[in-house]
């Protein structure tokens, strides 16, 4: 946790607490025009860095020559972390994000490609949030406050999915074998579900452990959902109590 705080503090100085990766494709002139337009709108408030395949090769070449210089070595490490994201915008799949699951362990296990077989656990909250800055900011503040009360740092991602909504991904990592951490993690996620519901933010996917928080037996929606369930699955064979009263 201490190492994570130090890295977060260092990255915040260089890049800020929030980062976005966007792929721009087209002809050379089209790409240049889009980048120029983006910079004209955002450059006053946001640091913008353009990464191309040519630039990656140049930076890597310079990095090899001067890697013994501490700041250059750090930038080399940072570049290695960014390269998979760059190629991801070009449609190249990657497993490079999987090691981020293992922050609680302090090291990446050899079998990191199979998280279920490791001691690192994760709980998630997946809200749909109106595309409104004040609402999103309030939600992030609530999330940070709840997690900090239980000793966790939330990993928050907000993705714009339409001109009306954002899809959030809130991760909570913990050590599975630590029963105290497990209990605190459940309490933190449960409180986030309840607090989000109070301000009108609901998840687009719910774990079975938290289904009772979302379902309201007196709500018209869930009453009709039960009627549909009774009609198409009278023996209640398909996914009992998942997104339904029964």
Contact 216, 222 (CB under 8 A): yes
Name which of 42, 46, 78 is nearest 60 in CA terms: 78
Q: What is the pLDDT of residues 12-56, one digit of tens each?
A: 555 555 667 777 888 989 989 998 998 888 867 777 878 888 888
Rounded CA-CA distance 13/167 in Å is 27
Rounded CA-CA distance 154/108 in Å is 19
* β-pair partners for 238: none
- Report residues of the chain scoring pLDDT below 70: 1-19, 43, 70-74, 78
Residue keyed to tokens 């337009």? 37
pTM over 0.75: no
Tell me the pLDDT of the chain averaged across its residues.
86
């Amino acid at each position: 946790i201490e190492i994570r705080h130090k890295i977060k503090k260092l990255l915040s100085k260089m890049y800020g607490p929030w980062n976005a990766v966007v792929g721009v494709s087209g002809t050379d002139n089209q790409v240049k025009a889009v980048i120029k337009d983006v910079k004209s709108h955002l450059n006053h408030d946001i640091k913008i860095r353009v990464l191309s395949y040519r630039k990656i090769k140049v930076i890597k070449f310079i990095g090899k020559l001067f890697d013994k210089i501490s700041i250059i070595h750090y930038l080399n490490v940072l570049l290695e972390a960014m390269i998979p994201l760059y190629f991801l915008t070009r449609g190249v799949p990657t497993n490079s994000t999987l090691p981020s699951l293992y922050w609680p362990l302090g090291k990446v296990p050899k079998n990191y490609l199979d998280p279920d077989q490791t001691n690192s656990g994760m709980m998630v909250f997946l809200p749909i949030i109106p595309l409104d800055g004040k609402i999103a900011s309030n939600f992030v503040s609530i999330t940070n406050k709840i997690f900090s009360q239980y000793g966790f740092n939330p990993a928050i991602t907000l993705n714009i999915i339409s001109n009306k909504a954002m899809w959030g991904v809130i991760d909570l990592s913990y050590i599975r074998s630590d029963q105290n951490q497990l209990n605190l993690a459940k309490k933190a996620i449960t409180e986030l579900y309840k607090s989000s519901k109070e301000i009108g933010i609901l998840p687009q996917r719910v774990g079975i452990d938290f289904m009772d928080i979302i379902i309201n037996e007196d709500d018209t929606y869930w009453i009709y959902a039960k009627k549909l369930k009774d009609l198409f699955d009278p023996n209640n064979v398909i996914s009992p109590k998942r997104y339904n009263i029964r």
